[in-house]
């Protein structure tokens, strides 16, 4: 018997990239179910369109780049990008909006940089930001929570709407959609209302936006499951949420009528999704534990700054991309002390 | 420290970064007592089984040797001699394949045993305490003892701290952290007394203030056996410490950190922090060498894995082929897919079964496909950082990988490539299945090669500079001489000068006359030279030859 020369180690643990990616998708399932319950079938249609588009674009570009198609598709990264983007987009988004977002995410933000592992930016967020700056109207038409909308659409009706823009007779987009809580807060603060006045409105729930706070709770649940399964570590989510809560508390204490409190910020918009599912993207984030704390803290502050003083109601996607740019520098300056090297 | 009564319970322990909890598979062989392997017909002994210069053969083909007789001597300071593991005849001294990561061949002495096991005369030192450290080290050196834990560094050197260095702690490594391997476990269980006796000799040689034996807590029987042995000899200066089971606790640097909280400086040695670390099996070998006079000719080898019918712990003569050992363990199973010498994390692939067991070979591992774990397709690094979390040196393996892959060796060194101990933790957990350690070995080898090339070219430049300098010096000297001569001529009295002129004119006239004669008669021929002419020519030739020799000697400098 002659063996080829194989370098040690000869054994390997159970971890693999596909497993990591699949767990991220599993962790989002409760939140997706919550979305369906609260905002209707829109998210399911988004998922169908996004996943199909992602797989098609990824396969096409792998073919162009002469890379193995099936093996690479099975790494699950295109699937994760599609799912994250689909969850982040408004539930009643037209098909082309989703497709353009996915196209940019997969082709421009990932494959053109060399595929998984080489993308400096989180692909889903790159796609999201492209849509946000290009199609602001479509991106702010969020489905109204169940209690506030007049009439419900079935799965087929939502699919038809997505593909053709047609709605059943007697239904209008206005009746189905509403501004988000963050949006409302921003607009009305601009009209010199106080935070307590604004939060008396029907779009607000106990902590954050009505419905949103439940979805955010379910995302938190999925995130905790990822922590438990050791797909992610606590550093990034803790730093994002901690710094966001801290800075929100600070300004809330200074003037509670001008600045919403920390719970509102945590339970609204994309804070939870960003903290547990986006900022924890290893490829585009910081690697070392200390670096992850810096990365997350920077992101939390940026989210608050953009939400409070920026031009957009939510700032998660921008905050992620900005911190992605800083990740290599953060990693460089937060290298751990190697065994046998002097402290300090 | 008052924990002799209940050793290992009150001691403070430290942690090293990272590490892995691995399925240990030790139960396959840990219940198997040490059994002597059957005497093989043929033994193949590589001249290099240690770190340092290969040993130099002392025997010739056809010579009969006795068991324990030195057959190769240490060549230089960092080297170790070799002894005949049994009596027999030297049948060859030649290149043979040896267990090496690259599957190389190397010079080996081949012995055919005569089956008689006749010992050479041994010189035990029962009263070793009367020997001084230098004499003890010499005994250990002559016995060919090298580190049996895997590295194979000549042990006598590690027992020589230097005149001005005090040794605070002698650490005995009984961690045996790699999965599957149980040879040290069995040794400590069955020969605890030998380990303790060796520890005392080593302590004596080092004048160490204290001795600490570290054992992973998955070996309670070994711990108990050592505790009992310590109680029997009533030693209070040897401390027994159970450490948590965590790979790679058995790494020298890691064990030192756990037991003392100190870190061996980067690129340094344990002695830099007044610590010396030896394996428990080395301690037992030291005891045998000193108190019984037996050189290192055998070791305990764990033969295990799903690919072998009956796992065993065998006492094996150095040089026995792996095939012989497998045969004694009931042969291999049909599912065997890879043979490894050493453990599953750091062992080397054996390219065929005929390779011999060397002094450092602690385990023959027969792995079946089911034991490799999950090996999916190799993907791109996703920078998940799992490798950095488990790295016991606290490196950033993913960065080392990027730089090694890009052949950016300067950056790889900036990220402390040479602090990597190649334990394999990073590759074990890598979800992208990257062969990370292979990249680091590649980078290290390339850097070493570059350093060698650099040294070579520096040497050549130095030589060139020297030569230019010498030539200029010669030129200057010649010029000075000429000037001096000229000055002397000018200063000499006129009479002398007239005389010289006359002589010169006469000589010129004679030369012209000879020339005319030569042109008139026949072309000059070296066949009919006068004896005088021949002598002159010979003298000139000899002068030229010595000049040439000097020239080339200068070139070599």
> Count of CB atoms within 10 A of residue B550's CB?
10
Helix axes A77-88, A17-39, angle to 10 degrees: 20
**Could you give the 3-state DSSP secondary structure of residue B210?**
strand
On whether any CB of chain A is under 8 Å from the CB of B352, the answer is: yes
For A204, which DSSP code? B
Phi then psi dihedrals of residue A130, to 5 deg: -55, -45
Both structure tokens of B514:
């000879």
Candidates B256, B269, B368, B317; CA nearest to B87 is B317
> Is A281 in contact with A327 (CB distance < 8 Å)?
no
The C-alpha atoms of residue A98 and residue A84 are separated, in whole angstroms, by 12
| Domain assignment present for A229 | no
The C-alpha atoms of residue A205 and residue A94 are separated, in whole angstroms, by 27
The C-alpha atoms of residue B183 and residue B302 are separated, in whole angstroms, by 5
Tell me whether 0.85 is exceeded by the ipTM.
yes
The C-alpha atoms of residue B133 and residue B128 are separated, in whole angstroms, by 10
Of A340, A342, A343, which to mutate for an interface test with B (greatest number of B Cβ within 10 Å)? A340
Q: What pLDDT, on the 0 to 100 scale, is given for residue B7?
A: 45
Domain holding A45, by residue range, is: 17-178
Q: What is the pLDDT of residues A221-239, one digit of tens each?
A: 999 999 999 999 999 999 9
Please indicate whether, in this complex, the C-beta atoms of B419 and A8 are within 8 angstroms of each other: no
> Is B313 in contact with B337 (CB distance < 8 Å)?
no
Candidates A328, A327, A226; CA nearest to A272 is A226
C-alpha torsion angle, residues A185, A191, A192, A197 (rounded to 10): -50
Q: Domains of chain B, with CATH numbers? A: 27-39+123-341 (3.40.50.11540)
> Which segments of chain A does DSSP mark as H helices, in order?
17-39, 42-64, 69-73, 77-88, 95-103, 123-134, 136-140, 155-164, 173-176, 181-190, 195-198, 212-228, 235-254, 262-267, 271-273, 289-309, 316-333
Among B351, B365, B388, whose Cβ lies nearest the Cβ of A3? B351
Please spell the DSSP secondary structure of A83-118, one letter per residue: HHHHHHS-TT--HHHHHHHHHIIIIITTGGGTSTT-
Residues of chain B with Cβ-Cβ distance to A287 below 8 Å are 383, 385, 388, 396, 398
Q: What is the pLDDT of residues A14-49, one digit of tens each?
A: 889 999 999 999 999 999 999 988 888 889 999 999
> Which segments of B2-131 does DSSP mark as H helices, in order?
27-30
Please indicate whether, in this complex, the C-beta atoms of B338 and A9 are within 8 angstroms of each other: no
> Is A35 in contact with A212 (CB distance < 8 Å)?
no
The C-alpha atoms of residue B4 and residue B10 are separated, in whole angstroms, by 10
Q: What pLDDT, on the 0 to 100 scale, is given for residue B475?
A: 92
| Domain assignment present for A203 | no
Interface of B with A in 436-455 (CB under 8 A): 437-438, 441
Burial of B101 (0-12, 13-18, 19+ CB in 10 A): middle
| Alpha carbon of B247: minimum distance to chain A alpha carbons (Å) | 13
Q: Which residues pair with B364 in a beta bridge?
A: B303, B341
Q: What pLDDT, on the 0 to 100 scale, is given for residue B504?
A: 82
Q: Which residues contact A228 (CB under 8 A, 6 or more apart)?
A: none
Both structure tokens of B209:
């203030």
- What parts of chain B have a pLDDT lower than 50? 1-8, 523, 555, 557
Both structure tokens of A259:
């600045």
Residues of chain B with Cβ-Cβ distance to A336 below 8 Å are 17, 388, 394, 396
| Domain assignment present for A185 | no
Query: Comparing A177 with B38, which gets the higher pLDDT?
Result: B38
Q: Are strands B275-279 and B82-83 parallel, antiparallel or unpaired?
A: unpaired
The residue of chain A with its CA nearest to that of B384 is A282
| Counts of helices then strands in chain B (DSSP H, E) | 16, 17
Q: What is the pLDDT of residues A84-99, one digit of tens each?
A: 999 999 988 899 999 9
> Is A187 in contact with A140 (CB distance < 8 Å)?
no
Phi then psi dihedrals of residue B7, to 5 deg: -60, 145
On whether any CB of chain A is under 8 Å from the CB of B221, the answer is: no
> Which segments of B347-396 does DSSP mark as H helices, in order?
386-390
| Domain assignment present for A64 | yes
H or E segment and range at residue B65:
strand B64-65
Total length of chain A: 344
| Alpha carbon of A69: minimum distance to chain B alpha carbons (Å) | 13
> Is A321 in contact with A125 (CB distance < 8 Å)?
yes
**Could you give the 3-state DSSP secondary structure of residue B174?**
strand
Among B20, B346, B350, whose Cβ lies nearest the Cβ of A3? B350
Q: Residue holding tokens 């606290």?
A: B394
Distances (CA, A) of B404 to B331, B436, B442: 41, 9, 8
Burial of B454 (0-12, 13-18, 19+ CB in 10 A): exposed
The C-alpha atoms of residue B329 and residue B322 are separated, in whole angstroms, by 11
Of B255, B376, B423, B430, which to mutate for an interface test with A (greatest number of A Cβ within 10 Å)? B376
Please indicate whether, in this complex, the C-beta atoms of B372 and A10 are within 8 angstroms of each other: yes
Candidates A105, A107, A116, A90; CA nearest to A21 is A116
CA dihedral sign of residues A174, A179, A185, A189:
negative
Distances (CA, A) of B65 to A325, B112, B217, B359: 71, 10, 44, 20
Please indicate whether, in this complex, the C-beta atoms of B396 and A287 are within 8 angstroms of each other: yes
| Domain assignment present for A159 | yes
Q: Structurally, how many domains does chain A consist of?
A: 1
| Alpha carbon of B332: minimum distance to chain A alpha carbons (Å) | 11
> Is A49 in contact with A99 (CB distance < 8 Å)?
yes
CA end-to-end span of chain A: 53
Please indicate whether, in this complex, the C-beta atoms of A5 and B398 are within 8 angstroms of each other: no
Indicate left, alpha or beta for A210 from its phi (over 0: left) and psi (-120 to 50: alpha): beta
The C-alpha atoms of residue B16 and residue B257 are separated, in whole angstroms, by 6
On whether any CB of chain A is under 8 Å from the CB of B372, the answer is: yes
Show the 3-state SS of B476-533.
HHHHHHHHHHHHHHHHCCHHHHHHHHHHHHHHHHHHHHHHHHHHHCCCCCHHHCCHHH
Interface of A with B in 21-80 (CB under 8 A): 71, 75, 77
On whether any CB of chain B is under 8 Å from the CB of A16, the answer is: yes
Please spell the DSSP secondary structure of A108-163, one letter per residue: ITTGGGTSTT--SS-HHHHHHHHHHHH-HHHHH-EEPPGGG-SS---HHHHHHHHH
Query: Comparing A289 with B546, which gets the higher pLDDT?
Result: A289
The Cα angle at residue A271 between residues A268 and A274, in degrees rounded to 5: 150
Please indicate whether, in this complex, the C-beta atoms of B385 and A282 are within 8 angstroms of each other: yes
The C-alpha atoms of residue B253 and residue B250 are separated, in whole angstroms, by 8
| Domain assignment present for A249 | no
Q: What pLDDT, on the 0 to 100 scale, is given for residue B520?
A: 59
Q: What pLDDT, on the 0 to 100 scale, is given for residue A151?
A: 63
> Is B143 in contact with B311 (CB distance < 8 Å)?
no
Q: What pLDDT, on the 0 to 100 scale, is given for residue B519?
A: 65
Residues of chain A with Cβ-Cβ distance to B416 below 8 Å are 338, 341
Q: Which residues contact B473 (CB under 8 A, 6 or more apart)?
A: none
On whether any CB of chain B is under 8 Å from the CB of A344, the answer is: no
Residues of chain A with Cβ-Cβ distance to B353 below 8 Å are 1
Residues of chain B with Cβ-Cβ distance to A16 below 8 Å are 374, 376, 431-433
> Count of CB atoms within 10 A of residue A121's CB?
23
Q: Which residues pair with A204 in a beta bridge?
A: A209
> Count of CB atoms within 10 A of residue A301's CB?
18
Both structure tokens of A123:
């692909």
The contacts found for A261-266 with CB under 8 angstroms, 24 or more apart, are A263/A207, A263/A208, A264/A181, A264/A199, A264/A207, A264/A208, A265/A208, A265/A303, A265/A304, A265/A307, A266/A207, A266/A208, A266/A216, A266/A241
**Could you give the 3-state DSSP secondary structure of residue B95?**
strand
| Alpha carbon of A277: minimum distance to chain B alpha carbons (Å) | 14
The C-alpha atoms of residue A234 and residue A280 are separated, in whole angstroms, by 9
């Amino acid at each position: 018997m002659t063996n080829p020369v194989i370098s040690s180690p000869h054994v390997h643990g159970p971890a693999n990239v596909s497993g990591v990616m699949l767990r991220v998708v599993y962790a989002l399932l409760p939140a997706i179910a919550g979305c369906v319950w609260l905002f209707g079938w829109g998210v399911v249609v988004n998922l169908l369109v996004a996943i199909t588009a992602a797989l098609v674009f990824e396969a096409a570009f792998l073919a162009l780049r002469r890379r193995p198609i099936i093996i690479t598709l099975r790494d699950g990264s295109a699937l994760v990008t599609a799912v994250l983007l689909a969850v982040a987009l408004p539930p009643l988004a037209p098909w082309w909006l989703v497709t353009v977002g996915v196209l940019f995410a997969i082709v421009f933000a990932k494959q053109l940089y060399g595929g998984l592992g080489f993308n400096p930016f989180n692909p889903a967020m790159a796609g999201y930001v492209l849509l946000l700056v290009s199609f602001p109207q479509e991106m702010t038409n969020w489905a109204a929570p169940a209690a506030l909308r007049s009439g419900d659409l079935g799965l087929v009706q939502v699919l038809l709407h997505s593909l053709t823009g047609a709605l059943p007779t007697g239904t209008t987009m206005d009746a189905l959609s509403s501004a988000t809580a963050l949006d409302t807060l921003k607009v009305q603060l601009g009209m010199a209302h106080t935070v307590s006045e604004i939060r008396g409105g029907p779009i607000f729930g106990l902590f954050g936006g009505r419905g949103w706070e439940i979805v955010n709770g379910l995302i938190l649940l999925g995130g905790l499951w990822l922590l438990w399964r050791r797909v992610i570590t606590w550093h990034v989510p803790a730093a994002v949420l901690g710094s966001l809560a801290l800075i929100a508390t600070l300004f809330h204490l200074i003037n509670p009528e001008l600045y919403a409190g920390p719970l509102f910020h945590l339970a609204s918009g994309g804070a939870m999704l960003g903290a547990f599912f986006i900022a924890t993207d290893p490829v585009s984030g910081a690697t070392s534990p200390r670096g992850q704390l810096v990365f997350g803290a920077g992101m939390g502050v940026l989210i608050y700054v953009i939400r409070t003083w920026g031009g957009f109601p939510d700032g998660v996607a921008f905050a992620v991309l900005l911190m992605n740019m800083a990740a290599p520098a953060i990693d460089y300056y937060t290298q751990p002390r190697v065994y046998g090297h002097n402290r300090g | 420290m008052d924990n002799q009564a209940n050793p290992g319970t009150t001691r403070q322990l430290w942690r090293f970064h990272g590490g892995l909890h691995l399925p240990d598979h030790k139960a396959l062989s840990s219940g198997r007592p040490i059994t002597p392997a059957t005497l093989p017909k043929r033994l193949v002994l590589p001249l290099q089984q240690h770190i340092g210069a290969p040993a130099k053969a002392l025997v010739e083909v056809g010579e009969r040797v006795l068991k324990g007789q030195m057959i190769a001597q240490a060549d230089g300071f960092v080297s170790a001699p070799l002894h005949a593991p049994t009596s027999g005849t030297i049948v060859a001294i030649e290149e043979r394949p040896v267990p090496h990561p690259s599957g190389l061949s190397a010079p080996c002495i081949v012995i055919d045993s005569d089956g008689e096991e006749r010992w050479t005369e041994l010189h035990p030192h029962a009263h070793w305490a009367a020997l001084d450290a230098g004499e003890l080290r010499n005994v250990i050196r002559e016995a060919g003892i090298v580190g049996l834990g895997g590295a194979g560094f000549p042990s006598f050197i590690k027992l020589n701290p230097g005149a001005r260095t005090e040794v605070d702690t002698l650490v005995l490594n009984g961690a045996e952290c790699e999965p599957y391997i149980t040879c040290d476990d069995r040794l400590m269980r069955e020969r605890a007394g030998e380990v303790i006796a060796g520890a005392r000799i080593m302590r004596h040689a080092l004048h160490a203030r204290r001795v600490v034996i570290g054992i992973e807590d998955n070996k309670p029987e070994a711990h108990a056996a050592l505790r009992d042995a310590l109680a029997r000899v009533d030693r209070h200066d040897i401390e027994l410490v159970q450490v948590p089971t965590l790979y790679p606790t058995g790494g020298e640097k890691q064990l030192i950190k756990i037991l003392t909280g100190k870190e061996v400086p980067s690129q340094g040695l344990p002695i830099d922090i007044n610590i010396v670390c030896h394996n428990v099996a080395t301690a037992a070998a030291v005891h045998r060498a000193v108190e019984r006079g037996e050189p290192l000719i055998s070791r305990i080898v764990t033969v295990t894995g799903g690919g072998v019918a009956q796992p065993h712990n065998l006492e094996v003569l150095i040089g026995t082929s792996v095939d012989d050992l497998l045969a004694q363990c009931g042969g291999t199973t049909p599912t065997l897919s890879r043979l490894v010498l050493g453990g599953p994390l750091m062992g080397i692939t054996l390219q065929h079964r005929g390779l011999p067991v060397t002094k450092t070979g602690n385990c023959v591992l027969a792995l079946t496909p089911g034991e490799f774990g999950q090996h999916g397709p190799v993907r791109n690094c996703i920078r998940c950082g799992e490798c950095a979390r488990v790295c016991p040196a606290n490196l950033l393996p993913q960065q080392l990988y990027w730089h090694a892959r890009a052949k950016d060796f300067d950056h790889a060194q900036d990220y402390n490539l040479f602090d990597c101990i190649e334990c394999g933790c990073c590759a074990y957990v890598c979800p992208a299945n990257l062969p990370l350690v292979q990249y680091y070995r590649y980078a290290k080898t390339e850097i070493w090669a570059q350093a060698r090339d650099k040294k070579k070219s520096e040497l050549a430049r130095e030589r060139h500079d020297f030569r230019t300098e010498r030539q200029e010096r010669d030129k200057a000297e010649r010029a000075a001489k000429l000037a001096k001569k000229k000055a002397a001529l000018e200063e000499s009295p006129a009479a002398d000068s007239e005389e010289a002129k006359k002589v010169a004119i006469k000589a010129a006239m004679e030369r012209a006359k000879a020339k005319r004669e030569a042109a008139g008669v026949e072309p000059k021929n070296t066949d009919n030279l006068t004896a005088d002419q021949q002598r002159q020519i010979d003298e000139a030739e000899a002068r030229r030859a010595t000049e040439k020799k000097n020239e080339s000697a200068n070139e070599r400098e």
